[in-house]
Structure 1
Amino acid sequence: MSAERPTRDELRRGMAVEIEQTNAENADEAEPLRGDIAKILSEEETEPGGVKVELESGITGRVSSVVAE
C-alpha cells in the first residue's frame, strides 16, 4: 500500500478504515471515524481528498487510512 491515501484498488468491502466525514455539518472539525467499508462510492482510482466510501454504519466519508488489524 502506498504512503499516501489508499487507492480504490487497495480497498475492499469489510476492510477497517479511518475516514474523514463528508456529510457532517461540521465535517471540517469532526474527528476521523473508524469503521468497516460497506460500499466504495468513488469511480476513480484516486481522489485528491481520498476515495469516498460508505461504512457499514451508513456514514460516508473519504478514506484517510487503513486500520491495522
Structure 2
Amino acid sequence: MAPPRSQIVPGVTVDVVQKQDQPSGRLTRGVVAQLLTRSPTHPHGIKVRLTSGVVGRVQAVIRPDREQEA
C-alpha cells in the first residue's frame, strides 16, 4: 500500500513510479518538490513532482537512515 499524503512533504526523499514505468514497476528516487494529488490517499500512490522535474506516484517514503541501503 502506498503511503498517505500526510507522510509526504516537500523535501522528503521518496521512490516514485513514473507513468511509463508502471508496467515494469521501475522506481525513481528523488526529493519531493510539490504534491500534485489533493486527496489524503490514492490507490496507486500520491502524485508528486520531484526536484528533478520527474512526476510520479509515491510508492515509498525513504527514511534518512535507510538511504544508504538502496
TM-score range, shorter chain: 0.7 to 0.9
**TM-score of the pair, normalised by structure 1:** 0.83
Secondary structure, aligned partner of 2:37: coil
Query: What is the deviation of 1:20?
Result: 0.5
Amino acid across the alignment from 2:63: A
Give the number of equivalent residue pairs: 64
Query: What is the deviation of 1:28?
Result: 1.9
Alignment of 1:18-33 (within 5 A): 18-22=15-19, 24=20, 26-29=21-24, 31-33=26-28
**By percentage of residues, which structure has more helix?**
2
Give the equivalent residue in structure 2 for 1:17.
Answer: 14
Alpha-carbon displacement from aligned partner over 1:3-38 (angstroms, at most 9, x marks no partner):
x3111111110100000102x3x5422620000000
Structure 2 residue 49 is matched with structure 1 residue 49: no
Point out where structure 2 has 5 or more consecutive residues left out of the alignment. Answer: 65-70
Give the equivalent residue in structure 2 for 1:7.
Answer: 4
What value does the CA root-mean-square deviation take over the aligned residues? 1.4
**TM-score of the pair, normalised by structure 2:** 0.82
Alpha-carbon distance in 1 for matches of 2:34, 2:56:
11
Secondary structure, aligned partner of 2:6: helix
Point out where structure 1 has 5 or more consecutive residues left out of the alignment. Answer: none
